[in-house]
Amino acid sequence: MTSGEEQQRAIRYRDASPRRRRRLWLIAPLAVLVVLAVLAVVLGIAARAWAEGYIAEEVERNLPEGVEGDVDARLGGVSLVAQYLSGRLDDVRLTSENLEVQGVPVEARVELEGVPVDRSQPVERATGSVRLDERAVQAILTAQGYPGTAAIADGGIVYTDDAQLFGATVE
């Protein structure tokens, strides 16, 4: 190898090195940003799963006496971390398809909006629904001292009972 060839090879090596460094300076920050974004998403998903489990557990533990069953909690909104840092959860949905209230099967759904992280503060808005079958309605009426019978018909409850009116039994 002649000294001219060695010089050309050295020049080529020096010329290539800054290009590679420039590419590295462009690629490295982008790779770091992608890794951080993926990490943030994974942590957000893990935090949401933990929070939903924690809320469901707390609700189940604080059910009134005579009420038993599993509760499912779902958190809405985009970023749970941002909601937590703001002090309020945008949307919390609680559902239970197998609650038992003093042995009576009940399905319940509760939607909460503006739930404060500080549990001593009030919730901004709460709506809910309870679904009962005919046996459940009858059990509730009996427990309240109503001796008649209840039936579900045409989307409503029909209650039938006998009463005494001027000595005659009226149904």
Mean pLDDT of 32-58: 93
φ/ψ bin of 27: left (φ > 0), alpha (ψ from -120 to 50), beta (otherwise): alpha
Which residues, in sequence order, are CB contacts of 160 under 8 Å at separation 6+?
148, 149, 150, 151, 171
**61 vs 22 pLDDT, higher one:** 61
Q: Within 62-122, where are the H helices?
A: 80-86
Average pLDDT, the chain: 84
Q: Domain segments of the chain: what residues? A: 3-131, 133-171
Are 159 and 147 a contacting pair, CB within 8 Å? no
Distance from CA of residue 117 to its chain's centroid?
A: 14
Q: Of 19-23, 108-112, 150-154, which range is least confident?
A: 19-23
Confidence category of residue 26, pLDDT binned at 50, 70, 90: confident
pLDDT at 143: 80
